[in-house]
Each structure stands twice: as structure tokens, then as C-alpha cells.
Structure 1
């Protein structure tokens, strides 16, 4: 009996160290005081502000929208020129690390930290030196959110093509919540002027339906916390060790028998 005690303790020790690595893939662990669960804003409190690596496209109208200007070629078109709108809209301009973007006729313009409306007003003012009553429309072409639907391998980068894309739409575009995902713990991590805030949402009951219409913003992280499968993970980690020990015992037993 005594000879088996070291083996027993070794098995217990192996299971202990294996348990230390169980569920190590779970991200963004938070405490209760680190998340916001009440008064979660359905619509963003702050307008999205341009940041480095954003790409923008814009269209310039003159005479308060009467005619469209193709800045890239200097050609004027009337308001019925749909081809001209599409051509201008396809040209993208990158916001540099210093918050500046290089635009036709204007050169480098500081847009980092400005909302889309503020950028439109600024460009309208700058282009007024070249055109009569310019009216500018601007859009960010590479807006996206990152969704972790409950299993790490299923994470997706979802482009935001609609300004009013909701939390439910973003999760649906990612394929929905996976089997391991916990619908009662969904964290929306958003960058604000006060730093990144974490909103924790419960969609497991009908009471959470009001938060399903929460408008997502560019660069939001949507994280569905996976369930903790302690027993399954421990068995997965310890099975190879137990198999190795069992094989060693069989080999030793055969050697002792032969001797």
C-alpha cells in the first residue's frame, strides 16, 4: 500500500498543475466595479471621431449641392451624373499617424479627433477658396467591430456599412453566439474620451431585448464570455499524463515479473 502512495500523490499533483491552465483562453476578466450594467447608452453618447489608419471618402458639391465636383480630375457634372458620384466615392484617403490626411487641392489637413460632421464643415470651409458654396459629404470606409461570439476560433472582424448597426446585427453577422458562449455575459468595450468603457449586457432573457438595439461604434470589441468547462478541461489535460503513467506501470510490472 505504501508503495502506491507516491504514485497517488503524483497523480494529484499532475491534476493540480493541469487545472492551472484550464480555461486560460478566457479573456477580459473583470470585477463588478469595472463594468457598467445600468444606464447603458442605446445610442452613442459621443460621435465617432477620426483616428489614425481610418480611411475616408468624400464628395464635393458646389452651389449648395447643385453640381458635383470630381476633385481628382477637375471635371464638373450636374446632379444627374451618377457615374461621377461613384467614381469620386471610390477614392479613399488614409488618415496618417499624426491625424492628417492629404487631400486634392488642399494638401495635408488635420482631421484626427474630429467627428464626421466637423470634418465636413472644415472641408466645406477650406474648399470655399476654390469653389462657390461647397457642400461636402464624408464617410469613413473602413469602420469595423471585432466580435468574439464565445469561442476564440470563431472571432470575426465585422465591417460597419450602416451607421445604425445594432449589437444584435453585429452578433448575427458574426454567426450568432456559439454553444460555449454565455448570453448573459456580453461585454461591449468602447473607446471614449474618458478611456475605454466596458458595458456588460445580459441577452439571456427578454428583459435584455432593449439592449439588443444598442448602436455599435467603430472599433468596438464585442466579447461573449465562454462558459467554464472545468471537468472537461481537466480531463483533457490529464488524460495524456494518466495514459503515460499507466503505460509505465505496465512496463515496470512486466519487467518485475520477468525478474
Structure 2
């Protein structure tokens, strides 16, 4: 089942079949897999049924990790590819593609030990681009006499960088989606809103002062798309650089916004975001 409105290459049906086969092979029910992944059973069911999404759901990476899939396998299935087999047509094109690369790049590809590879389809995060980021991680044995390389350290560093690259692409997509929103309505506690507003105002490149209505301890804030993008940007930074409590709150706000953005069906539809107090109290 292709999400034809966004990208003809997104094969949610193939992804769903692969997820279901992997789950059945592991001997787990949908509920058991959902518990292991930390998502709802409905999320697993939607993925296995090939339900098309406007953007890649955040639950996909969690389910794939719970199944023990290596990073990038889920996106390979979503792109209509078999990650364990190189198509013959691609093999025929490989040589001519390598010959077309700049000499420096071809030289780097020809040497060293392959650590891992990845392909980041940036259109997943920004439908207005058709760009793919192709990454080849190689390890070179260039050490002084008596020194030895630490392959485990190299791979750990690559794994960190790989996640950072995907996170940056996801963050960019979220910021763009937020900025494109015609309006957003945020419901949260007063303390939560003051926390959000304070963090946004720390960013010198963002300025916002939206009006809000207060009903007891609850606030209903009306935001522009740019205001929402400012919040996404602030929470993105804080969840990686703040202390434990700040990072937890920033992550909850960030994920609530992403979930709401994924639920909208049209670009002219306003975004409704609710941050539940019980979540922030965990």
C-alpha cells in the first residue's frame, strides 16, 4: 500500500508484512511486542496492517528495535527494498555510479575497512525534497608504532553519529511541519506553559509572545506556525542538553507536538496539542 499523496515509493504494505512476519517468527503477540517496544497495541496493529501515515510514525523505530532489527532495515522495507538482497538492476548501475564520483570520494571508498552504511531518505522528514543522504563509514588503520585501533570504540562512535544524523533529519522535518501549520492550539498546565515560554525566550533567534486563556491551572494558548516551530526548536535542544528533569519535560512536550503534527490530514488544518499533567508528573 503506497502513500501516493506524499511519496510513491513508500510501501507501507511491504513494511507491515515484514514486521508481522518478524513478530510471528519471534513467537510474540501484538500486545507482547507493543509492551517490549513501549508503544500501544494499536500502533503495532496499524504498522502491520500497512496503514499509510503522513510522516513516518515515531513508533516504527521502537518496534523495529524491539524486533532486533538493525538500524535502517525498517526504512529499507518502507522504501520498497529487500534489505538482505541487492537488486540486479542496482548491481548493473553500481560500476557506472562509482566511476561518476569525484576522485577523492572514490579513493576513500576504495580503502579502509567497512564499518557500516546507511541511507537517510530526507523526503521522509521533508516531503518537499527528493534528497537522499548516503553514508559510508570506514575505518582506517593509521596508528603509530605500537598502537592498535579499537574497533568497538569506532563502531560505538559510528552508532552515536548515525542516531544523531537521523535525529537531526527528524527534527528538521518537525520544525518545518510546525512552521507550515496555519495555527496551533496548546492546552497544558500553567507551570508547563511557563517552562516552555522560558526556554523559547532563551533562544535569541526566536521571539514570541502569544496570548493565552487561563482556566484555573490550565492554559489554552493560541500559537502561530512560527511560534510552534520555536517551541519545537527549543525542546529539541533542551532534551539533549538539559538536566535530567528538563530533558524529560522537553521530550514529553516535543513528542506531544510531533504526535499532533502526524495526526493532521491537510496543510490548512490547525494543530491541537494537549500535554497531560499526569505525563509530566512521572
Same fold (TM over 0.5): no
Q: Which interval holds the TM-score relative to the shorter structure?
A: under 0.3
TM-score w.r.t. length of structure 2: 0.19
Of the two, which has the highest radius of gyration?
1
Structure with the higher strand share, 1 or 2: 1
